């Protein structure tokens, strides 16, 4: 553990200049550690793994292989962005695995939240393991560990992390941002030229939309959730809330209510909006969203998303409500 203690003397990375100095230093360290070896990285598209990927691409180019597992529970456009940024713009060695069917088949009929999480976590490891086994000569595993992960490794977050890897993997770890806080990782991401939306992405749970498609996941309800969530994100972006609200999303419960559409009875699911602010996710307050904006979002979701016939706003702080619904 002592090697992981952040020295008091370490300067916080707050400017582009400091970030560039950090990048130069890390490039040297990565090259010294890895030599001409090959490195593997599970690239989720989240801030931490994206920054590590971009750093490693700069340092060792094609010696890095990134594996992006699409578990079918990503938000709209996220896997596409990983392919666009890393596969195309940065020309990385990117293995893209669309494992949607595997995950959704396993999850069919499973309604218990912790069981869903376990299935998603275990299957993620399995898919990643299979891909790793196809690659030859990998000696190193890169990870987007950040300093709070080390501090909290005995705490709540440990069981949250999807993408934890099997213990029998015989790789040496490469963890270039392990002494940084999240805001520092973001400054480094900016300096590396990653897209703003990727660098300032709101926290997104490892099991993804799986814990927001409440109860047993079905493909049609998951699709409705993804579309409604994309509308919420678009409207928050347009109305200046994206950078202001800590976490916001839609949850869709496994229940229907009666409604009317085009003069006919229309049974549909409700879309529940959650928008909260917090410092540490232990407690959270609800954002005061202008009523007109809520009405506009309701109008859009109920008209544009098949299967949704009501929109609700969750007014519950944490405690007593958790941020996620399951
Ligand atoms: P709760 O719902 O416990 O959420 O108030 C607190 C924060 O943790 C995130 N969260 C998760 N993150 N895997 C994760 O990686 C999970 O299973 C998980 N469950 C909740 C949640 O999005 C919020 O930011």
| Among 224, 195, 196, CA closest to 212 | 224
How many whole angstroms from 146 Cα to the centroid of ligand 1? 17
118 CB-near residues (< 8 Å, 6+ apart): none
pLDDT tens across the length of the chain (326 residues): 446 678 778 899 999 999 999 999 999 999 999 999 999 999 999 999 999 999 999 999 999 999 999 999 999 999 999 999 999 999 999 999 999 999 999 999 999 999 999 999 999 999 999 999 999 999 999 999 999 998 877 544 444 444 455 556 679 999 999 999 999 999 999 999 999 999 999 999 999 999 999 999 999 999 999 999 999 999 999 999 999 999 999 999 999 999 999 999 999 999 999 999 999 899 999 999 999 999 999 999 999 999 999 999 999 999 999 999 99
Question: Against a cut of 0.85, is the pTM above it?
Answer: yes
Give me the pLDDT at residue 162, please.
47
Burial profile 240-275: b = 16 or more Cβ within 10 angstroms, e = fewer = ebbeebbbbbbbbbeeeeeeeeeeeeeebbbbbbbb
Kindly give the number of the ligand 1 atom that is closest to the alpha carbon of 322.
Answer: 5
Give me the pLDDT at residue 5, please.
77
Give me the pLDDT at residue 168, please.
61
Where along the chain do the CATH 3.40.50.620 domains lie?
16-199
Where along the chain do the CATH 3.30.300.10 domains lie?
212-313
CATH code for the domain defined by 212-313: 3.30.300.10
Helix (H, G, I), strand (E, B) or coil at 240: coil
Helix, strand, coil percentages in the chain from 3-state DSSP, rounded to 5: 45, 20, 40
Q: What angle do CA 240, 208, 235 make, to 5 degrees?
A: 20
Give me the pLDDT at residue 67, please.
98
How many whole angstroms from 165 Cα to the centroid of ligand 1? 19
How many whole angstroms from 257 Cα to the centroid of ligand 1? 28
Give me the pLDDT at residue 146, please.
95
Q: Taking CB atoms and a 6 Å cutoff, what residues make up the pocket around ligand 1? A: 117, 160-161, 203, 205-207, 211, 247, 281, 318, 322-324
CATH code for the domain defined by 16-199: 3.40.50.620
Question: How crowded is residue 118: how many other Cβ atoms within 10 Å of its Cβ?
Answer: 14
């Amino acid at each position: 553990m002592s090697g992981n203690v952040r020295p008091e003397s370490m300067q916080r990375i707050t400017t582009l200049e400091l970030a560039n100095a950090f990048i130069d230093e890390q490039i040297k360290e990565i090259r010294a550690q890895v030599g001409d070896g090959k490195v593997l990285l599970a690239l989720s598209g989240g801030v931490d793994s994206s920054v590590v990927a971009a750093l490693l691409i700069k340092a060792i180019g094609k010696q890095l292989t990134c594996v992006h597992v699409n578990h079918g529970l990503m938000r709209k456009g996220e896997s596409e962005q990983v392919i666009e940024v890393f596969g195309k713009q940065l020309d990385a060695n990117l293995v893209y695995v669309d494992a949607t069917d595997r995950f959704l088949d396993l999850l069919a009929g499973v309604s218990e939240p912790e069981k869903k999480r376990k299935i998603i976590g275990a299957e993620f490891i399995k898919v990643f393991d299979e891909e790793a086994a196809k690659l030859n000569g990998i000696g190193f595993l890169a990870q987007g560990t950040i300093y709070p992960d080390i501090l909290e490794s005995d705490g709540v977050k440990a069981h949250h992390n999807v993408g934890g890897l099997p213990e029998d993997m015989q790789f040496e770890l490469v963890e270039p941002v392990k002494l940084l806080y999240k805001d520092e990782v973001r400054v480094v991401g900016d300096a590396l030229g990653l897209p703003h939306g990727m660098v300032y992405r709101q926290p997104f749970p490892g099991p993804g939309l799986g814990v927001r498609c409440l109860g047993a996941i079905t493909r049609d309800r998951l699709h409705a959730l993804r579309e409604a969530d994309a509308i919420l994100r678009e409207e928050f972006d347009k109305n200046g809330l994206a950078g202001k609200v800590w976490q916001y999303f839609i949850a869709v419960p496994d229940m229907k209510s009666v409604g009317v559409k085009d003069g006919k009875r229309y049974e549909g699911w409700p879309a529940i909006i959650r928008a909260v602010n917090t410092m540490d996710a232990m407690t959270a307050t609800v954002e005061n969203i202008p009523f007109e904006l809520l009405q506009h979002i309701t109008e859009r979701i109920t008209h544009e998303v098949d299967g949704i016939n009501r929109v609700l706003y969750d007014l519950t702080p944490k405690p007593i409500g958790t941020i996620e619904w399951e």
